[in-house]
Structure formats: C-alpha cells, structure tokens
Structure 1
Amino acid sequence: MTRRTHTALAAAIAAALTLGLGACSSSTGGDSAAVDGKGITTEGNGIIGGTPVKGGTLNILSNQDFSQLDPTRNWVEPEMDFGLRTLYRTLTTFKAAPGAEGLQIVPDLATDLGTPSDNGKTWTFRLKDGLKYEDGSPIVTDDIKYNVERSFSPELPGGPDYAKQYLNAPKGYAGPLKGQRLGKEAIEVPDAKTIVFHLKRPVAEFGYTVTLPTFAPVPVAKETGANYSNHPFSSGPYKIDSYDRGKRLVLVRNTNWDPGTDTVRKAYPDKIVVDQTLGSAGIADRLVADQGDDKNAIMYADLTPAKIPDVITNPSVKSRLVSQSEGCTAMLDMNTSKAPFDNPKLRLAMQYAVDKDAFQASVGGPALSDIATSYLPPALTGGSPVDHFKIPVAGDPAKAKQLLADAGFANGFSTEITVSTGAKQQAEAVQAALKKFNINVTINAVDASVTNSVIGSKDKQTGLAITGWCPDYPSAATFLPMIFDGRSIVDTGNQGDVTRFNDPAVNAELDRIAALTDVKAANDAYLALNDKIMDESPAVPMSWQKKPLLVGSNIAGAYANSVWSGELDYAAIGLKSVK
C-alpha cells in the first residue's frame, strides 16, 4: 500500500504516492489514542499504551481459524499482517509505524529496495548476511524462488497472483509440485544471496510487489503441499509451538531470528497465543471487562456493532479502542457467469435497488463506515470519493423498478447470498431492501474460515456475495486489475475476480494501462475505467469500512496500519508491563 522506485520513473511514482496517500493523516504520537466526537479512535492518532516492554504473553482473542498461513496462499487480512509480522519475512516490507510513515517500504531480507535494469523489466535483490530459519539453517535465494514458483501451482490456490502476471514465465507453467522449476528467463539465482526477476513488462513498483508473502522463503525440503499452512517453516521472529486448527495457535520465539538483520519486527512478547474458539460478542465482553489475562489481550476480528455503545460510553474502555479506515471497498458481488446476473440491465438495477443507508447501519453506522459510491476507495482517487451514479443513499426505487422491467424482471426473482456468519446482519440489510422489489434473497451464512473457498468455487458460488477488496499498496494497479480482469478467473480458489466478470474490452484496457510509463496518465485511465466498469455493474460498492479493534489495558504499541487494512501492526505490539 505504498510505492517507490529509483528508475527514471521515480518522479512519476512520487506523484502517484502523493495521490495515493491523500486520504491518510499523520501520526500525532502520544501514549493514548485520541477519539473523535463519536467516540471512535481517529486515523493516524498515534500509539496506545506507549512503548512495550520485552517479555510476557500476548493473547489474541479470535472467533475463527486462519484460512491460510501458507505464504503462497495468504492474501486476506488480517492473515497477511499476522503471517508477515510473526512467521515469515519478505524481500522488502513496510515500516512498523502509525500513519503515513507506516506506508513506507524498507529492506527486509534484501539489502536494499531492489535494483531495476532493462527499463524496469529486470529487478535484482541481494540478501543480507546472517539470515536463518527456525532450525538455524541459512535462508538462500533459491528458497524465495521456490515459493514464487509455488504461487503458480493449481494445488495451492488463492494467493497473490502478481508473479503470474508479471514474471516472464513459460505459458502453462504449473509450479514445482508438478516437478517443474522456472528457468533463467523468469528467475535467476546466480548464487545463494542474489535473485534476479525477469518481467514481461516494466513494473516500476516491483519493489512494493515483493512485500507480499509470495516473496517469502520456503525451502524445498520443507514442502508439504496443501498442509504447509499447518506449520510454515519460520524465517520470522516467532515459530509455531503448537497449532490445533480452529482451536488454538501458540507461537514462541524463533531463537535463530537475528534482530540485527530486522529493523521492523520488534518481537516484544515471548509468546503469542491465539484462542480461536470464541464468539464475537464474548470477545468484546471480555475486553470491556478487562480482567486477568484479558488485560494482555487484543481482538483479532472487528468489534461487533452491537457492542459499540458499551465501548464509547465508557471513557476507560473507549481509550483502548483503535479504529482506522481500512482503505478497502465492501461490495455486493453478483455472479455474472450465471442467470440472472449475466443480464447487465439487471445488474444496473441492483445499483438503484440496494439501501446503502441500511447497510451502513448494519455495520455500525457512520462512526464505523462511509457509504461507498465507487469501486476505487478515496485513497486511490486523490483523497476524495468518486460518486459515479449519484444515487440517494437509500436507493432510487422508481429507477430500480424501471430497470428491472427493462431487464425482464418486473415481477422480481429469487437468489441466494453467501456471507460469513459475522456478516449476517449485512446480508439481512440487503435482503430487506431487495424484498421491496420482489427479489427474494436466501442467506447462506458460512464459517469465516471457509467463506472464500465457497465464493471462489464455480460449483458452490451463489448469485450474490458480500466481499471486499483492499489495495496491496496505494495504486489502482493493485485494485481494478485484481478484481475485474476476467483472464484471472479459475473454477476453484477464485480469490480476485469473484464476480466472474469477463469483458474483453475491459481486459484490453487493463493491458493498455499497465503498459503506460506515465503514472499520472495511468491514474487518469484507471479512474475512467472505474466508471466504465461501474456502468456494467458486476458489483455494487456498499461501504468504505473502518476497523474497530479493542485492546486490553496492559497492551502497548497498539496502532492501526492502513497497509494491513486498518489491522493492528503485529510487528510492534506487546505489553506495558510483565509481572
């Protein structure tokens, strides 16, 4: 969610940075978070609890298992944040700091931010000295190459697909699990400390691309295929002590991690315990009560809207609330590959039929979200929202009825919506709004750990779903191509273009924009393409969320990082005191 380069495009990228960061406010520092008039922690407001001490146990209270800790497959928040800050390192990463400072990249495993050549089509990185895995064995560049190759494997779906998009890999390459390794035309490892990436086209932001978990090391000898998520081999400050899926994950210190090679991860706690057996309301109740070990606890999932009054009416609790804009767009996705949502007029009618006011209320009201009027969030449109249709927030019933009739659905229809159990209230808001038009929506609420796999399966996917997208760094290049390029669609593990929207003209325009070397021209083109896709309406933008997270009274170093979609930055969090 940031970018930089030192090619001839540096000035243009700097301009893009200014545009991308326009909606971010800076840190004010201090030992506690400021709160706005609605009692919600404001953006970029500093660090709760001051600087942590070394030691103790950090407790993470969760209502769900991790869907993926395999770095090849980890592409959802807050799992990326957790994995990248505790278990594995990448070539570059983001600074551990609140506000705009946390949007800067720094070297991680690499000695610098990468050296481009061949007009940005070739990128070279050198590893630092002294890098080791949890067993003390050295981290070498072939391990990074191997993990990048794994991202091509159909057996390991769901992860970031930038390597597939960017690398000069042979057509049809199916990854190392098929016994194939990439050749020098894609990735070279001339020695144990040097790795060279050859791209299909110039990518000025590739130094940011390698912050993603795809570019973490995985040794060939530790390959366990789909089971690798159960025990990723640690290159970070912690390693897995035990993991009972869906119940409890315990991390302990990786004694072979050298803080001298890592300027980002502070690794304050001795141990991190993730309890995955709890309900959202119960987590909130425990953190509000703030008793015993819960003083040393943080919440993993968002504070439920029903519990907001309990927090903001109690000053001592309110001071422990962090809530920052996620920089993401929540959307009502339509499965455009099947009737009835293969009808573009019907999809357009949905833009006017939904009640975004009611949807906003279902996620906590204006204090916790803004109504979305565009796919691209304000952080990617110069800091100000784009309102393409200018539809009233509660919808436009007359226009919706007209469009439904034009589409041949004047008498309505029936469909199903898939959401995680935690988003059932949002689904009910959609259900109630559409019922007014004789659109009967059945809610399919599934566990959060399997939501993505259901929505991403051609056979299991329903007509509607509520999902969202966050940029991997502040560029529309990490947004529109990820969710609307029809060539990325797969039958299972479909994590990007979940609407299965496949318009050749849109695909061609994405290619044209990707080839532009003028970043301002690219930004302008993405804004125009955003409007074009809105007209075709594969999804309805619903809200721009804030992420409310409550922490215990003995927590220190707690701040939200917009890189991680408003999640707490696990690189710097710990305890105020250790008894």
Structure 2
Amino acid sequence: MKKSKFSVLSLFLVMILVLAACNGGSKETSNEKEEGTSKSTGPKVLNVNNSSEPGSLHPAKAQGTHDSWILNHTFEGLTKKTEEGKIVPAVAESWESSKDGKTWTFKLKDGLKWSNGDPITANDFEYAWKHALNPDTAADYAYQLYYLKGGEAYNGKKGKEEDVGVKATDDLTLEVILEEPTPYFLDLTSFYALFPINKKVQEENPDWALEAETHVSNGPFKLTEWKHKESIKIEKNDNYYDKDKIKLDAVNFALIEDENTAWQMYENGELDLAYPLPVDKQGQLVNSGDKEFQNGPDLAVYYYNLNTKVKPFNNIKVRKALSMAIDRKMITENVTQGGQQPAYGIVPPGIPDATGDFQENTGNLFDENVDEAKKLLKEGLAEEGMKKMPDFSILFNTLDAHKKIAEAVQEMWRKNLGVEVKLENAEFQVKLDREKAGDFQISRAGWIGDYVDPMTFMLWETDGAYNDADWSNKEYDKYLKESKTAMKPEDRMPILHKAEKLLIDEMPIIPIYFYTKPYMVKSNVTGIYAPINEYPSFIYADKK
C-alpha cells in the first residue's frame, strides 16, 4: 500500500518535470523558428511539388520537366552547370578537343559507382548514347545525338551502331567524334539525354526506370519510393563522389497538378518549395518584398502549336490572323503576372549573339493588329473554301494558369475575330501523347532551352521530334543545316536570325510570352538556385 502511494507521488512529480521540460522546449523552439534558426535533430527532408506524374525516369525516354526535374537530381552527365551557368566537370574530370573541334576526349573520375555499387565506366556513356540513338528505343531526344558522327544515320536505320562516333577506349576514357564542329556540344553534355545508364541493369530489365525498386542512377540522390500519381521520394546517394557536400537526407515530391493545391500545402507548411505558383499569387508577390519569393529569368517560351495538317490551320493567313488577334501584354500583366515578357519571336532573352543578346537584336518579328487579322482570316478561310471557322479547341495540360491563359485567348478571338473556340484539358503526359499523334487542333506548349544557344529553340525542322505543328519548309531546314556547320558566331548567328524570321512569317506556332521563374522557398531552406534553363536545383540545399 505504501509502495503504491509512493509510486503515485513519484509519477505525479515526474509528470510535472516532463510538462515543465516540454513547455520550456516549446518556447525555445518557437523562438528559434521566429528567428529563422530552428534546428532539426532528425533527417533533413525537403518537401516539394512536381506538377505531374513522370512518364519515365529513364534519361533516354524522358520528355519534359515532369521527368527532368527528378532526373537532374538523380543522374549526372560528363559535365554539369554551376549557379552562374558555367560548365564544370562532373563524371568527367577533364576533357580536350582537337583543333578542328570534331574530336573530344573525356577522362572520367576514377572510382565512381552507381547507386547499386557497380563501377561507372566510359562504357556506360557509350552504351547510353547508342541506346538513345537505337531506332527501337524511340527516344524523342535522339536528335540531340545527331551531332555524333553517324548518329542520325543509325537512328534513321541508314547506318550501323558501330559507326556512331562515341567509343570507350578504356574504362576511364571516352572518345567522341562529331559530324561537324558544334559550338555548344560541351554544354549539351550536361543535358539529361546524354546521361549514362547502367548497361547490365538495362539489359537485365528494360523497364528498370519505371519503379523505385529497380531504379539505378549515379547522381547525388537515388530513387527510393514511387507511389504512382501520388508521390516520389529520392534519398541521398552514399555512392555519389561528392556526397559530403550533400546536406539533405531526402526529398519528397508530391505529384500535384493543381498549383492552387500546392500553394495551400506551402502555406500550411507541408511544402518547403512551391513551383509553379498560382498566377494570382504571382501578381501579389512580384512587388511584395516577401523574402520567401524568388524570381528570375528563364530560358523558355510559352506558345501554341497549330496543327498544320488540319484545315484551316494549314493556311498561313489563318494562322497569322489568330496570332495577330492576341493581346500579349494583357496576358502577361493581368493573367500570368510574374514579370513575363510578351513574345514576338521564339528565342527568349539570355542567349549571346555575335554581339549583344540574340533576342534583343531580333526585336519584334510581327505586330498585333486586329483589323489586319480580320482581313487575313476572311481571305484565308475563302482560300480553303470555308465561310467560317469550323469547331476547334485549345488543348492544354491540367494547370490553372494554362486554363486562365486559354480563357483569355478564347475571349480575344471571340471579341476580335468572331471566332468561337472550346477549351480542353488533359494530364500532361496525355497531352504530350496526343501531340505526338497529331490528335489536336491547337495545343498549349512551352520549351525550356536544352542548352544556351538559339539552335535549341529551332524545333520545327521537317520531321523533327518536337515539331508537333507538323510544319515543313525546305528553306528553314537549309538554314538549320548551314548553321550547324558554321563555327564562328558572326557566321552562324545571322543564319539563325533568318531561320527564326522565316518560322514566324509562316506562323505554325503562336508565341505568347517568355517565361520567368517565380517560386516560393521557406526561409529555413538555403542553397537552392535556379539555373537559367532548369527548374530550381536543391542538390546543395540545406534545411535548418
């Protein structure tokens, strides 16, 4: 009985001490949070949102930012880019090129390992690049390897694999031979289509990149969980050569198509980084002085594809009329509200010309003019034997910003041209698949430069992998071919200016605006930066 009373009293005293400690701890933690210096004793986990379920986390099969944002944190190529955009060694420790610029020799770092412990060798790059070029792989980005000698011929079933200009001369040496000198080739080696893949893994399981359990990579993080259409988790890769500089233990991607939902999660503390943002929030934040709001340039253009194989979008006058009837300034100021610049060409600011900036030197390649648009539409329809526009729709992937832009364009065409258009939304991967199949009339699109050169925006070469407008012009093709063989900027840049002008003159696509990169990141997260042609990078991020 005495023992029982003593136990109760002891328990009571212990509870008082525990409560006091908890209250004291809560007060201290609260103060630390207010000062932005809260300390975490558990794993450092960053929570972000990815706007769509990835189609594949295979470097050769990836198609868009919903894939590449994760790939850029789980893989690494021969080179990588610093925050300032400088090309620096990654898997390669050094390289050199021949005087004619056609032969490149890369020396790999010794002792590198895949996330499963296998050694990384030059053979992994030779195998990966030839795998992407293999016509049976059906890699959309195979064309980025056409710069290799014999690359296009092999991909087009007109050449042999052994004739492709990439060869591992030993485990740590990769020799690359180009068809022609390519000024931006070194930049391209940091792009995800040129990442290595593990040959043994690929040959044992061709579907290795579709599940976390079988995924093998070589970057700072490795894929450890993939709940399809729900979430993805990547964790620090202890086999990464620079692992001591990686501060985060894991990154959770919530797969959220609705940016308004992502914003609510950010406000509730469920996300540490939110991108993209709801357009109305962007407008409020641009000049707010909010320290968590980040914004900067983006090497990217927002545009509409016009299916040139479907009447009346095969008619240049109709295409021009639709473009000239859009008020881009109204869209950037009242809809997107993120400091975007109206686009009257396809190449965004931020790319060096022979002198100055390429886009600034280009200027506006067309004007908005409602009266001229009405005239062109009438003439174009008459040429196609039509009295009015047939039923058609704008296809866009499920994102509120895309819907609001489409609604603005819908109203402009109704008001300015008397044209009625329907709106149709779909999941991002579904939209991409429909574009490849030509199953659309007009579709929303965006393009982020794969490298810093105007050539990365010249997508509309005949039968090009991303020529979703299905447009063809022999003179345009000729310009692109000529620019690929000219090494000096003063020789090749004027050719690319001609190509862009020709493209806009025929208007198979409708440029809308040049992107910016507005995103939110919590104040206790440091080390995140946004390369000009990539989504925000958190490779070297830290969380207090």
Is the TM-score greater than 0.5? yes
Residue 331 in structure 1 maps to residue 310 in structure 2 = no
For 2:74 and 2:69, the matched residues in 1 are separated by: 10
For 2:526 and 2:278, the matched residues in 1 are separated by: 23
For 2:235 and 2:207, the matched residues in 1 are separated by: 24
Counterpart AA for 1:357: K
Q: CA deviation at 1:245?
A: 1.4
Within 5 Å, which residues of 2 pair with 1:293-442? 294=271, 297-299=272-274, 301-308=275-282, 311=285, 318-361=290-333, 363-365=335-337, 367-380=338-351, 382-383=356-357, 385=360, 386-391=362-367, 395-409=368-382, 411-422=388-399, 423-436=402-415, 437-442=417-422
Q: CA deviation at 1:269?
A: 0.7
Q: CA deviation at 1:314?
A: 6.6
Which residue number corresponds to residue 572 of structure 1? 540
| Bigger helix fraction | 2
Which residue, 204, 208, 212 being the options, matches 2:191? 212
Counterpart AA for 2:456: T
Contact 2:146/2:152 (<8 A) preserved: no
For 2:471 and 2:461, the matched residues in 1 are separated by: 7
Q: CA deviation at 1:312?
A: 5.8
Secondary structure of 1:430's partner?
A: helix
Q: CA deviation at 1:174?
A: 6.8
Contact 2:247/2:541 (<8 A) preserved: yes
For 1:222 and 1:115, the matched residues in 2 are separated by: 30
Which residue, 436, 451, 461 being the options, matches 1:485? 461
Q: 1:514 to 1:62 in 2, by over 3 A?
A: closer
Which residue number corresponds to residue 168 of structure 1? 150
Which residue number corresponds to residue 125 of structure 2? 144
Q: CA deviation at 1:310?
A: 5.7
Q: 1:549 to 1:67 in 2, by over 3 A?
A: farther
For 1:513 and 1:424, the matched residues in 2 are separated by: 37
Secondary structure of 1:111's partner?
A: strand
Residue 558 in structure 1 maps to residue 528 in structure 2 = yes
Percentage of pairs with the same residue: 20
Residue 268 in structure 1 maps to residue 243 in structure 2 = no
Within 5 Å, which residues of 2 pair with 1:535-554? 535-554=505-524
Which residue number corresponds to residue 135 of structure 1? 116
Secondary structure of 1:407's partner?
A: helix
Residue 157 in structure 1 maps to residue 139 in structure 2 = yes
Secondary structure of 1:150's partner?
A: helix
Tell me, which stretches of 5 or more residues in structure 1 are unaligned?
A: 1-48, 489-493
Contact 1:92/1:109 (<8 A) preserved: yes
Which residue number corresponds to residue 169 of structure 2? 190
For 1:155 and 1:439, the matched residues in 2 are separated by: 42
Range moving further from structure 2, 133-142 or 117-126: 117-126
Which residue number corresponds to residue 451 of structure 2? 473
Counterpart AA for 2:211: N
Contact 1:419/1:444 (<8 A) preserved: yes
For 1:241 and 1:309, the matched residues in 2 are separated by: 37
Which of 1 and 2 has greater Rg? 2
Which residue number corresponds to residue 17 of structure 1? none
**Equivalences, count:** 489
For 1:217 and 1:273, the matched residues in 2 are separated by: 24
Residue 239 in structure 1 maps to residue 210 in structure 2 = no
For 2:247 and 2:524, the matched residues in 1 are separated by: 13
User: Please, what TM-score do these two structures have when normalized by structure 2?
Assistant: 0.83
For 1:349 and 1:237, the matched residues in 2 are separated by: 49
Counterpart AA for 2:395: T
For 2:318 and 2:346, the matched residues in 1 are separated by: 18
Give CA deviations for 1:266-324 in whole Å, capped at 9, x if unaligned. 422111111214732122123234x4x54xx112x310112236646875xx2101111
For 1:272 and 1:454, the matched residues in 2 are separated by: 31
Tell me, which stretches of 5 or more residues in structure 2 are unaligned?
A: 1-35
Contact 1:74/1:160 (<8 A) preserved: no
User: Please, what TM-score do these two structures have when normalized by structure 1?
Assistant: 0.78
Counterpart AA for 1:485: E
For 1:53 and 1:519, the matched residues in 2 are separated by: 51
Contact 2:142/2:155 (<8 A) preserved: no
Residue 124 in structure 1 maps to residue 101 in structure 2 = no
Which residue number corresponds to residue 81 of structure 2? 94
For 1:398 and 1:570, the matched residues in 2 are separated by: 49
Secondary structure of 1:133's partner?
A: coil
Range moving further from structure 2, 219-228 or 371-380: 219-228
Give CA deviations for 1:82-105 in whole Å, capped at 9, x if unaligned. 312x2111011111x2xxx2x110
Counterpart AA for 1:448: F
For 2:140 and 2:162, the matched residues in 1 are separated by: 24
Counterpart AA for 1:254: N
Q: CA deviation at 1:387?
A: 3.6
Residue 201 in structure 1 maps to residue 176 in structure 2 = no
Which residue, 472, 488, 502 being the options, matches 1:532? 502
For 1:147 and 1:543, the matched residues in 2 are separated by: 35
For 2:525 and 2:142, the matched residues in 1 are separated by: 32
Runs ≥4 in structure 1, deviation > 6 angstroms?
Answer: none
